[in-house]
């Protein structure tokens, strides 16, 4: 019974994780989140401003970005300023390595629906 519950929980986690790429495709979003050397870069090509971007990163790293705070959970959360169309925001990693990350933000053209992107 214990083994079956563990297998069921593992299957649920895999299923949820596998939905993220499909979600990004379904959103038809042009913005991106990527690792660029010693930085995590949120790129907003448009068509309008990305408002209230919230970046969540995991890994063993240090950043001195004033918008980022290490949480009790071990994750680093960054409350980024709005990113205008055609602009980007770069979080410089001073040492260590980011393992995973995601950003959630809003666009006026999308209404109240949040947009979710994750690091490839």
Which mean pLDDT values do the consecutive 10-residue runs of the chain (120 residues) have? 42 43 56 95 94 97 96 96 97 97 92 91
- Whether 43 is covered by a domain: the verdict is yes
Confidence (pLDDT) at 28: 66
Confidence (pLDDT) at 15: 43
Number of domains in the chain: 1
- Look up residue 2 and give its two tokens: 């214990």
Helix (H, G, I), strand (E, B) or coil at 59: strand
Confidence (pLDDT) at 110: 81
Alpha helices in the chain (DSSP H): 2-27
- Strands (DSSP E) along the chain, which ranges? 32-35, 39-44, 51-62, 68-70, 76-79, 87-92, 95-106, 115-118
pTM for the structure as a whole: 0.76
- Whether 40 is covered by a domain: the verdict is yes
CATH number of domain containing 70: 2.60.40
- Whether 2 is covered by a domain: the verdict is no
What are the backbone dihedrals phi and psi of residue 68, each rounded to the nearest 5 degrees, phi first? -110, 140
Confidence (pLDDT) at 27: 54
């Amino acid at each position: 019974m214990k083994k079956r519950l563990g297998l069921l929980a593992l299957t649920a986690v895999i299923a949820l994780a596998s939905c993220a790429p499909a979600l990004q495709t379904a959103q038809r979003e042009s913005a991106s989140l990527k690792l660029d050397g010693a930085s995590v870069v949120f790129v907003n090509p448009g068509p309008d401003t990305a408002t209230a971007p919230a970046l969540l990163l995991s890994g063993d790293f240090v950043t001195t970005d004033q918008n980022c705070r290490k949480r009790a959970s071990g994750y680093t959360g960054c409350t980024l300023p709005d990113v205008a169309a055609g602009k980007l925001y770069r979080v410089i990693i001073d040492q260590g390595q980011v393992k995973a990350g995601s950003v959630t933000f809003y666009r006026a053209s999308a209404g109240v629906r949040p947009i979710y992107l994750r690091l490839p």
